[in-house]
Each structure stands twice: as C-alpha cells, then as structure tokens.
Amino acid sequence: MRICSLLPGATEVVAALGLADDLVGISHECDYPPEVRHKPVLVHAAIDPEHTSGFDIDRQVRATLEAAQPLYTLDIIRFAQAQPDLVITQDLCHVCAVTPDQLQHAIGALPTPPRVLSLNPGNLDETVMDVERIGEATGRAALARALAAQLRARLQSIRARVASVRQCPRVVCLEWLAPLYVAGHWVPEMVACAGGDDVLGVAGAASAPVTWEQVLAAAPEVLLLMPCGFTVSRTLRELDRLSCDSIWPGWQNLPAVQDGHVFAVDASAYFSRPGPRLVDGVELLAALLHPSLFGGVTPSEACRVNLNEHNPTVRTR
C-alpha cells in the first residue's frame, strides 16, 4: 500500500502499525517516529513558527485567513509522484493542515483517485477510535484494535490511581501566550483523567481566547504553558520575548506562581496532535499534578518555569 499521511498523529499510528515503509508522503510536521523524517514532504507552511514570535504568528495567521489565502500548500507535483492508494487527512482545524478543497484539487489531477480517510477527533475516545479506523483502512485491523486496547488500558490505569485523590488541583492550560488562548478539544479531558480540574478549558470545545483577568480570577494552582506545536525549549524562547509585567499584570499573585507550579510542557509531542502520544501526555500530567503517585518527568517533556527568569522587566532591575 502507498500511504500519504498529512497528519503527524496519523503518521505515528501508521508507523505503530508497522507500515512506515508504506509511507510515500508526509506533512511538514510529521517528525515522529524518527524513521519517518526522510519521507517526501508534501505540505509546506506559509509561516515559520520556529523563528517567528507567537504574537507575529497570530497576526500573520489572521491576515492570511482574512485575505482568503492558504496557510499551507500541498505540493501537487510530489503528490502526483507519490501515487497514493490512501490519503489520511483531517477536518478538525483549518489552521492546522491543508484544506479539503486543496486536497480534492490535487486528487483531481491523479489518474486513479485514492481512498481518503478524514479524521475529526474531538476527545480522547475518538482519538483512540481513529487508531482503529486507520487500522481498518490499512489492512491492520487486528493490530490496531490491540494498540487501541493498550491505550485505553493505560488511561484506565491512570484514572484508577488518581481516584483516591481527595482534591483535584485547579489547572489552567494556556495554548497560546500572546494573545492568550486556553486549550480545548481533548486537553481538558486529559487534565481530568490525570486528576486535575481544568477551570477555563471546555472539553470537546475548540480552544478559546481568554483575558488575563479571567486567568487571575480562575486562581489556578497549576499553570501549564503549552503553545500549540511548541516544544519545551521553543516555549522558553517565547517567554524570553515577553514581558510578564506588561502582558500579565499581577502574575506574581497566582497560586501556581507562588507555589512553584508553573510548567512548560512539550505540546508538540503530547498535547497538540491527536494520536497515541496523547496518552503519554496524560501520564505526564499525572506526574506533574500528583508527583507522589507517579514517577518524574524528563526536561524535554516538561520543566518547572520561574517566570522571573523570563521577565525582562525583572531581570534588568
């Protein structure tokens, strides 16, 4: 089978099903597992998130959408050369991948149209179900069911271990820092599964803009910094660009800050992409929220953040 996966989470599933060699095309974000990184890249982004500030990324995204221009381009020539039998795409977020219209245009140029599997998971259960859907589409249904069962068992194990927790910490998950957005979709459910209470995010709903006043009023005991698609190191660089005193007045009064419970997490690997590693993300959250019940984390997965160290106003005093 010749598979084009335009979603990083789907690419992870394809590889987990032992079909990495069948991948003939991937997106620019498909970087896991490492053996897929040499595959032909069919999708290119108009904005470089690695070297652009979060504020400028937001501004450029808004301007591009207002101009009715695509945020991503599909390489039609390389797509035709790939001659896929199966294309895996999504219809959940139009600022995250090529649009259905772009894909249909590229498919229209092929002599034989491939099967298109479009994924639209809104929660953890649907993400695990998509593993089974990919298995059915690729002829690996039994293996996919076994993988899905393992993922569900891991989630149930976490729920069982946190069931004895008397009080769930109040958590705020920031999916963007400037402007502020709180995480939605599956993230509030991940927090709940890990024994936390996401006080601003809504499970199953889209990520939403919030004001800093709302964050202050929520008084989170744990503040998680998870800008969409960012690694821990990328988030720390983003913090260095910001002045907390300017954009987050009164941040010192947050319980999470006073208790040292502000964490940057690897959103790219464990929170932004609907795929098997969301379960790793739940395990990571459980370790951060309840360290006495779970093991530690590595610096690449998450790190404690001292906002004073990333606040130019404080550093220059």
316 falls in which pLDDT band (50, 70, 90)?
very low
User: Is residue 103 one of the residues assigned to a domain?
Assistant: yes
Domain that holds residue 90: 3-120
Per-residue pLDDT tens over the stretch 31-55: 999 999 999 999 998 888 888 888 8
H-helix or E-strand spanning residue 83: none
Q: What percent of the chain has pLDDT over 90?
A: 73
Say if strands 43-45 and 72-74 run parallel, antiparallel, or are unpaired.
Answer: antiparallel
Given 59, 85, 120, the domain boundary residue is: 120
Q: What is the pLDDT of residue 136?
A: 98
Q: What is the mean pLDDT of the chain?
A: 92
CB contact at 8 A, 245 and 253: no
Per-residue pLDDT tens over the stretch 96-144: 678 888 899 899 989 999 999 999 999 999 999 999 999 999 999 999 9
Q: Is the peptide bond before 227 cis (omega within 30 degrees of 0)?
A: no
User: Is residue 28 one of the residues assigned to a domain?
Assistant: yes
Tokens 């009715």 found at: 68
What total number of domains does the chain contain?
Answer: 2
pLDDT at 71 over 50: yes
Tokens of 11: 């690419």
Q: What is the pLDDT of residue 113?
A: 94
Say if strands 197-198 and 170-177 run parallel, antiparallel, or are unpaired.
Answer: parallel
Per-residue pLDDT tens over the stretch 275-310: 999 999 999 999 999 998 998 788 889 999 998 776
Q: What percent of the chain has pLDDT over 70?
A: 96
In a shared domain, residues 193 and 112 = no
Q: Helices 277-289 and 124-138 sit at what angle, rounded to 10 degrees? A: 160
